């Protein structure tokens, strides 16, 4: 794995290279996605059944689009008991962490009868998109559904593309059932997103759509944003390990590879103050890669977006981490909590040498749906917040309004909004005034 | 003002009519906005100076784009002292409310050395867009800047279009200074949004862009979403008053008109269980309109999107309010707090007959930037949350990881992510394994 000295120039080049991972070919697909969305909006079920035939080769209709209790029972029979048990253990942790994120409604009162507050209300109906295809990630099903469930969403609708046989992958179904999906529909791609956004005869309209997907799904989500809410659009995965000379090179190497294996666009970066660690990690990486089942993907990812960066001091190393704003940040330094205080931008922060990144992917409890590609500068992990919305509360007595009513009238009149002024004045001044 | 009996069919027609207020002509402008954004991204300052010449007729360059301390001093001399004093009083309330929204970082510890948590970090740099033109709303400047300031954002950059004389409206400048803007740049339109999103020689790149604007600004914000974060895209204003026979018809009428005066696309709706109130309000509205300075706008708004709806019972009335999901909801019933418990969807809720909507626009403290056009079903008022982001914290000791490490390995292997499994296993199993 390449080792680079961390100069200002090197950082800039690397940042530029990493940003190349953003899909630039959106334009090529926007037309066809717009067409699918418009068609589903207009022709509803008829359109989605046609697309399921065309894109998934599946014969879906109003009678079989909804996954039945029987199909779920079959799925349970097919899924390995060990996986089911692990899922259930993970669910306990995921629920417990997200419970801690819940925010209460609040009010603040004053003696004169003024009350201000904020009401927190769960969204009513949410759509969770789950991709189909060969790669099946039941952990992702759990991570998308649990925060909605904990937030108190009334109805969680899942959609996922069917196979040619009209069936859904059993692990996906079992994960959905365990996490608490209320209904599961067999439809995928941009047509699923449009169906969730506008509703069809079979599929009810939702308030928000979350979940990963290919470029069609991502563009469809962007297209329906505003009609419904969406989560952010996920990019390729990344890990940045921030380490000093106290880190175990073998652990660091293994952790870098855990993200590099995701896909060829994934990025794995070590930033360290130790030249010795840099060299050892580089060697350990080479050793591991040869043994791993996904070595082709890993090698391409490392060649394109893998770096071992050697910094003069921890301050520079931290600044680089903040500039890259990685999805996953591991801190393996002599005092990781102290280092953490200087971190501004990261999706999830893993502290110390036993907090390996996959612990967060599967088990610890925090969400693994995290901001990618530098967006940790302004986006947050998926969480309970994403499934509630707030309303301000304002209640003033006559006694509270009286002493300030002229101020409001004045402000409104300065903005030339005389009907605003009138609505306050009418409560205190005579009709004839 | 028209009175309609609230049947299911009437509600559906009204909802459909209200949604017509969403701009449908986005397509006509997308091309030119994309061109402006691309040009500014490539040619930076040069491009924005050209657009300022072309669109604002102003001669802006690198030496005068930043508003100077002297210009701010001049603005203070021009602004009415009364307005300044009212602004300062309002600011105290706005700050105090938003302080209550602040969320702390938290951690939760376990005896075995496991620590989970959530770190809350303010965004580093934020851009606030303020429209130019004839209508000047200093209250809107306060409402967009204060939550960012309270959140702890390091640097707040404001942009607003200059007049032909290269100057900015003095009330806007004074409001910006009072609220705490760090820098103010004279640039407007789609070019300002692109400059904030990508940075130019003069204007630094920001993490998030907020603030209202015309269709060019709205489309530019949608175009740069993902490169930066944005607030939601605001539509025309609306008020819904939910009232029973105890309400004062004169107050209700005045409040309806306070929103109808915003623009011709604004909507004012009364939903009441009292036929008597409906008739009285209708009469009072007619009386007021004749006297108000913005009567042409008000009349058009009422003709198109104004309704007095008479419901059989409060349950139906509440259901209709939730279905419409208004930006502003006034509840003037015998027990407004009890009625409020049944409200799911509203941007701001005003309780009782002295909580007139303009109290919230200017003075009470909660933000007046609220979700419009039915989006209160899934969006929240602008607030401190919009200017922070979160990072998950995961710290496991060896003791905490040991008993569950095989579970994680198993889950990863079920998903065929062997490098994930390896990164956990390497910490417990022998190199030769």
State the CATH number of the domain containing residue B269.
3.40.50.1980
Chosen for mutation from B357, B362, B388 (greatest number of chain A CBs closer than 10 Å) is B362
| Contact between residue B414 and residue A424 where contact means Cβ atoms under 8 Å apart | no
Task: Kindly list the distances between the CA atom of residue B329 and the CA atoms of A107, B332, B347, in Å, as whole numbers in the listed order.
Answer: 17, 10, 7
Q: Does A364 touch chain B (CB under 8 A)?
A: yes
The minimal CB distance from A359 to the residues B137, B254, B424 is found for B424
Angle at B187 between CA B183 and CA B188, to 5 degrees: 120
Does B218 share its domain with B256? Answer: no
Residues of A in contact with B345 (CB under 8 A): 121, 391
Task: Kindly list the distances between the CA atom of residue B51 and the CA atoms of B63, B168, B218, B308, B426, in Å, as whole numbers in the listed order.
Answer: 16, 17, 17, 45, 59
The minimal CB distance from A396 to the residues B359, B376, B378 is found for B359
In this predicted structure, the answer to whether residue A378 has a pLDDT above a threshold of 60 is: yes
pLDDT band at A202 (very low <50, low <70, confident <90, very high): very high
* Residues of A carrying an active site annotation: 327-328
Q: Mark yes or no for CB contact B348/A394 under 8 Å.
A: yes
Residue A412 lies in a domain: yes
Task: Kindly list the distances between the CA atom of residue B296 and the CA atoms of A222, B290, B291, B292, in Å, as whole numbers in the listed order.
Answer: 37, 10, 11, 9
Q: Mark yes or no for CB contact B419/A258 under 8 Å.
A: yes
**Dihedral sign (CA A422, A426, A427, A433):** positive
Closest CA–CA distance from residue A6 to any residue of chain B (Å): 23
Q: Is B405 annotated as a binding residue?
A: no
Distance CA B73, CA B69 (A): 6
Name the β-bridge partners of B125: B155
Residue A377 lies in a domain: no
Q: Output DSSP code: residue A429.
A: S
Phi then psi for A330, rounded to 5 degrees?
Answer: -100, 135
Distance CA A106, CA A120 (A): 8
Does B16 share its domain with B33? Answer: no
Percent of chain A with pLDDT strictly greater than 70: 98
What pLDDT score does B432 carry? 47
A112-122: pLDDT as tens digits: 999 999 999 99
Residue B92 lies in a domain: yes
Q: Does A356 touch chain B (CB under 8 A)?
A: yes
What pLDDT score does A370 carry? 95
Q: Does A391 touch chain B (CB under 8 A)?
A: yes
Distance CA A69, CA A73 (A): 6
Question: What torsion, rounded to 10 degrees, do the Cα atoms B259, B264, B270, B275 define?
Answer: 130
Distance CA A424, CA B251 (A): 9
Residue B167 lies in a domain: yes
What pLDDT score does A41 carry? 96
**Dihedral sign (CA B300, B303, B305, B307):** positive
Residues of A in contact with B80 (CB under 8 A): 414
Q: For residue A390, what are its two tokens?
A: 């707030």
Closest CA–CA distance from residue B293 to any residue of chain A (Å): 7
Closest CA–CA distance from residue B113 to any residue of chain A (Å): 11
pLDDT band at A25 (very low <50, low <70, confident <90, very high): low
Residue B390 lies in a domain: no
Does B102 share its domain with B222? Answer: yes
In this predicted structure, the answer to whether residue A352 has a pLDDT above a threshold of 80 is: yes
Q: For residue B309, what are its two tokens?
A: 């709806």
Does B123 share its domain with B61? Answer: yes
Secondary structure of residue A2 in the 3-state scheme: coil
Does A239 share its domain with A332? Answer: yes
Residue A141 lies in a domain: yes
A180-196: pLDDT as tens digits: 999 999 999 999 999 99
Q: Does B228 touch chain A (CB under 8 A)?
A: yes
Residue A369 lies in a domain: no
Mean pLDDT of chain A: 93
* Of B344, B346, B340, B374, residue with least CA distance to B360: B346
Q: Mark yes or no for CB contact B378/A123 under 8 Å.
A: yes
Distance CA B107, CA B109 (A): 7
Distance CA B4, CA B271 (A): 10
Does B171 share its domain with B241? Answer: no
Give the strand order in the sheet containing B155-160: B183-186, B155-160, B125-129, B208-210, B229-230
CA atoms within 13 A on the CB side of B268: 28
Residues of B in contact with A233 (CB under 8 A): 226
* CA nearest to B256 within chain A: A423
Distance CA A82, CA A94 (A): 18
Does A42 share its domain with A9? Answer: no
Does A161 share its domain with A92? Answer: yes
Question: What torsion, rounded to 10 degrees, do the Cα atoms B56, B57, B63, B65 define?
Answer: -10
Residues of B in contact with A116 (CB under 8 A): 97, 100, 364-366
Does A321 share its domain with A405? Answer: no
What pLDDT score does A24 carry? 59
Q: Is A237 annotated as a binding residue?
A: yes
Helix axes B295-305, B275-291, angle to 10 degrees: 150
Residues of B in contact with A359 (CB under 8 A): 394, 396, 401, 408, 424
Domain final residue pick, A169, A202, A230: A230
**Helices marked H in A130-263:** 138-151, 170-179, 189-198, 215-224, 249-260
Distance CA B280, CA B293 (A): 22
Domain final residue pick, A189, A213, A230: A230
Q: Does A423 touch chain B (CB under 8 A)?
A: yes
CA atoms within 13 A on the CB side of A64: 13
Q: Does A299 touch chain B (CB under 8 A)?
A: no
Count of domains observed in chain A: 3
Helix axes A215-224, A26-43, angle to 10 degrees: 60
What pLDDT score does A103 carry? 94
Residue B384 lies in a domain: no
Mean pLDDT check: name the lowest of A218-232, A310-324, B313-327: A218-232
Q: Is B98 annotated as a binding residue?
A: no
- Taking 50 as the pLDDT cut, the residues of chain B under it are 432-433
In this prediction the ipTM stands at 0.93
What pLDDT score does A432 carry? 47
A-B Cβ pairs (cutoff 8 Å, strict): 357
Q: Does A119 touch chain B (CB under 8 A)?
A: yes
Distance CA A265, CA B362 (A): 49
The minimal CB distance from B420 to the residues A346, A361, A420 is found for A361
In this predicted structure, the answer to whether residue A272 has a pLDDT above a threshold of 80 is: yes
What pLDDT score does B433 carry? 41
What pLDDT score does B254 carry? 96
In this predicted structure, the answer to whether residue A42 has a pLDDT above a threshold of 70 is: yes
Angle at B338 between CA B333 and CA B339, to 5 degrees: 55
Domain final residue pick, A364, A379, A408: A364
End-to-end CA, chain B: 82
Does A278 share its domain with A202? Answer: no
Secondary structure of residue B378 in the 3-state scheme: coil
Distance of CA A367 to the CA centre of its chain: 8
Does B160 share its domain with B45? Answer: yes
In this predicted structure, the answer to whether residue A40 has a pLDDT above a threshold of 90 is: yes
Q: For residue B55, what are its two tokens?
A: 């669109």
What pLDDT score does A23 carry? 63
Does B95 share its domain with B123? Answer: yes
CB atoms closer than 10 angstroms to residue B8: 10
For residue B288, the enclosing domain spans 3-22+235-364
Higher pLDDT, B313 or A24: B313
Chosen for mutation from B112, B235, B411 (greatest number of chain A CBs closer than 10 Å) is B411
CA atoms within 13 A on the CB side of A193: 31
Token pair 């901001």 is found at A371
What pLDDT score does A431 carry? 61
Q: Is B237 annotated as a binding residue?
A: yes
CA atoms within 13 A on the CB side of A124: 15
Q: Mark yes or no for CB contact A378/B207 under 8 Å.
A: yes
Q: Does A191 touch chain B (CB under 8 A)?
A: no
């Amino acid at each position: 794995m390449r080792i680079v000295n961390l100069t200002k120039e090197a950082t800039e080049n690397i940042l530029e290279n990493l940003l190349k991972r953003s899909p630039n070919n959106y334009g090529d697909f926007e037309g066809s996605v717009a067409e699918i969305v418009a068609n589903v909006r207009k022709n509803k079920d008829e359109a989605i059944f046609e697309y399921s035939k065309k894109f998934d080769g599946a014969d879906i209709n109003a009678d079989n689009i909804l996954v039945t209790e029987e199909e779920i029972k079959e799925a349970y029979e097919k899924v390995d008991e060990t996986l089911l048990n692990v899922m259930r253990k993970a669910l306990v942790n995921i629920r417990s962490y997200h419970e801690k994120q819940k925010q209460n409604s609040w009010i603040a009162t004053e003696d004169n009868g003024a009350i201000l507050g904020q009401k927190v209300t769960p969204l009513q109906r949410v759509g969770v998109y789950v991709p189909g295809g060969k790669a099946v990630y039941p952990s992702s099903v759990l991570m998308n559904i649990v925060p909605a469930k904990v937030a108190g969403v009334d109805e969680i609708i899942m959609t996922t593309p069917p196979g040619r046989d009209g069936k859904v992958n059993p692990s996906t179904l079992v994960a959905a059932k365990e996490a608490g999906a209320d209904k599961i529909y067999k439809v995928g791609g941009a047509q699923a997103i449009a169906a969730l956004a506008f509703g069809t005869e079979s599929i009810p309209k939702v308030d928000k759509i979350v979940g990963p997907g290919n470029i069609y799904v991502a563009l469809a989500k962007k297209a329906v944003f505003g009609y419904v809410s969406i989560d952010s659009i996920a990019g390729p995965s990344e890990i940045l390990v921030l380490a000093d000379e106290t880190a175990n090179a073998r652990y660091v190497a293994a952790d870098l590879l855990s993200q590099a294996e995701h896909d060829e666009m994934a990025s794995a970066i070590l930033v360290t103050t130790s030249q010795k660690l840099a060299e050892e990690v580089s060697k350990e990486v080479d050793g591991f890669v040869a043994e791993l089942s996904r070595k082709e993907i890993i090698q391409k990812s490392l060649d394109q977006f893998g770096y071992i960066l050697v910094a003069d001091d921890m301050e520079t190393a931290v600044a680089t981490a903040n500039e890259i704003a990685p999805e996953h940040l591991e801190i393996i330094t002599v005092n990781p909590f102290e280092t953490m205080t200087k971190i501004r931008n990261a999706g999830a922060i893993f502290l110390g040498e036993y907090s390996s990144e996959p612990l967060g992917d599967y088990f610890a409890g925090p969400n693994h749906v995290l901001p990618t590609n530098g967006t940790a500068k302004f986006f947050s992990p998926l969480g309970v917040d994403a499934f509630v919305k707030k309303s301000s509360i304002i209640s003033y007595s006559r006694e509270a309004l009286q002493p300030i009513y002229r101020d409001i009238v004045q402000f409104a009149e300065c903005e030339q909004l005389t009907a605003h002024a009138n609505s306050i004045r009418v409560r205190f001044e005579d009709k004839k005034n």
